[in-house]
Structure 1
């Protein structure tokens, strides 16, 4: 998908989606996103077991959080290559890496599609991804390309979402918003999207087909604090949590083409729901993911 991509069957492509308003919105909110996902990021790195002075490929690196963490862990003689489709997110990633003046591995950020971009052969001991592998148009080709970039014995570790029902941080606001929007067309089971690998069987089959070995798929659950109020009041936290869920979570797609009145109503109803769940000035709901590991 490198280069200029046109509409496919009238549907916006992943490159267009992440270089448009959505990519810009995520770039503006990268600190919030990284803070909310911090417990999941910690689980990813615990499983990845990075070695000092090694090389790492970060797939769908977004605004650079995982690439920067990896660079610190790999040390001055390590090397990180971080790939993403989104120019707005990569701009933030590069700025963050410069501002933080990393005392660690060098990072090269590349605007490209890991599905088809030439990532090289046998260059990386590690490949990681935090929610970046679910959006490939052709998953089998993408994982085969990533495998080729790993050295023999190299390791792929990634996070992807389980089912909506396993993710109350998504399911709760979605349940509130659904009555306000038109009925949804059922998604194709292998279509790109956040729940592309909601079923563990599909992950193992695709990785095996791409040539990976020693595949493990572990269910993990972590509490995500969507927002915390500055003054300890539940409703302030609920409003901020509703804003996160509606602007940055998968629920945002339900409201993308809706008028301002519907969006405002959705925001208020989700905030009311979250207020009933707030505790000590924070809104915390569970997230369910697959933590996947495989070897070349």
Structure 2
């Protein structure tokens, strides 16, 4: 957005720090979608993998376990706080049984412009990291250059907000409380719903040199929060939605009183979606692979 922070400033500021400290919560929310990503990526033993927008490292560690000791995984992200959490998680993970895997390196870098070696990787993956490049075609061309012959890129990105109840329901609860509605983002601006219309993503991949492109919709129920009872679950889910989810930017500069009203409104909106101590809502993605 004009006058707003760059992606590097955004993810190295309070948002990045908040995501880093709450990454176990986010990883649990996204777990069903992460499973779909790895099922499609089908990483081979010994593969050399680039994890684009690796965040706090959950997908990097999973890739390392899948490719085994003969492989190698590079986790790249522009957020120093998230990479610090990833390194700490990896160090702790070394002592866990059954987690011996590939060598891992962590790199603070923008994959759009970073030179990590021509043909250095046999596979690239991204769980919700590919929507934030300044220039998508340039970024995908750089990824293509870093993939060796037969290398594949597998990524997850969000479909339309209307299809994502886990975002839409909290957002619709918050909007009536705001002094004015936020303006829509410019077309093709970096953001979570940049590739909701997947034709633009396909065009960028083709322009970057990818030829074989497949795209399939993925729909999963995600658990946004849990608790001892449904009311507690709704409140826990509301805290995730207003603190970490895409609706959180609506309240970034809110006064405490407004933030409290928004939390209560979101909890009320989520209460009908609570059952057996958990709030489950629909999440809708595109699962894309290109070679």
Alignment partners' CA distance in 1, 2:191 and 2:66: 30
Find the aligned partners of 2:2 and 2:186 in 1 and give their Cα distance.
14
Mapped to 2, the partners of 1:20 and 1:122 lie a distance apart of: 33
What does residue 98 of structure 1 align with? Answer: 91
Residue 9 of structure 1 deviates from its aligned partner by: 4.7
Q: How does 1:92-131 map to 2 (within 5 A)?
A: 92-101=85-94, 102-131=99-128
CA distance in 2, matches of 1:260, 1:91: 30
Counterpart in the other structure of 1:259 = 255
1:89 maps to 2:89: no
1:169 aligns with 2:166: yes
| Equivalent position to 1:237, from 223, 233, 237 | 233
Aligned counterpart, 2:39? 46
> Following the alignment from structure 1 to structure 2, what is the Cα–Cα distance between the partners of residues 247 and 129?
23
* TM-score of the aligned structures, taking structure 1 as reference length: 0.95
Q: Hey, what does 1:191 align to over in structure 2? A: 189
Q: Which residue of 2 aligns with 1:27?
A: 20
CA distance in 2, matches of 1:20, 1:12: 10
SS of 1:37's partner is helix
1:155 to 146, 152, 175: 152
| Alpha-carbon separation, structure 1, partners of 2:240 and 2:134 | 27
SS in structure 1 of the partner of residue 182 of structure 2: coil
Alpha-carbon offset, residue 119 of structure 1 = 2.0
Aligned with 1:78 (options 67, 71, 85): 71
In the other structure, the counterpart of 1:269 is: 265
> Which residue matches 1:214?
212
Deviation at 1:276, TM superposition (A): 2.0
**Cα displacement string for residues 184-228 of structure 1 (whole angstroms, at most 9, x for unaligned residues):** 112112000001111011111000000001101111100001111
2:110 and 2:260 mapped to 1: Cα distance?
Answer: 35
Provide the rounded CA distance (Å) in 2 between the counterparts of 1:44 and 1:109.
21
**Partner Cα separation in structure 2 for residue 117 and residue 205 of structure 1:** 22
Q: What is residue 17 of structure 1 aligned with on the other side?
A: 10
Find the counterpart in structure 1 of residue 283 from structure 2: 287
The 1-side partners of 2:199 and 2:138 are apart by 18
Q: In structure 2, what is the Cα distance between the partners aligned to 1:237 and 1:152?
A: 48
Give distance in 2, aligned partners of 1:185 and 1:52.
Answer: 47
Partner secondary structure for residue 193 of structure 1 = coil
State the secondary structure of the residue aligned to 2:204: helix
Q: Matched residues in 1 for 2:288 and 2:84: separation?
A: 28
Matched-pair contact (CA < 8 Å) for 1:119–1:146 = no
Deviation at 1:10, TM superposition (A): 2.1
| Structure 2 runs not aligned, ≥5 long | none
Q: Give the number of aligned pairs.
A: 286
Indicate if the aligned counterparts of 1:119 and 1:145 stay in contact, CA closer than 8 A: no
Once the two structures are TM-superposed, the CA of residue 257 in structure 1 deviates from its matched residue by 1.3
User: TM-score of the superposition, structure 2-length normalised?
Assistant: 0.97
Instruction: Please give the secondary structure, in 2, of the residue aligned with 1:262.
Output: helix
Check the 8 A contact 1:30/1:63 in 2, yes or no: yes
- Structure 1: gaps (5+ residues): 1-7
- What is the RMSD of the two structures over their aligned residues, measured on CA atoms? 0.9
Rounded to whole Å, the distance in 2 between the matches of 1:80 and 1:203 is 25
CA distance in 2, matches of 1:212, 1:184: 36
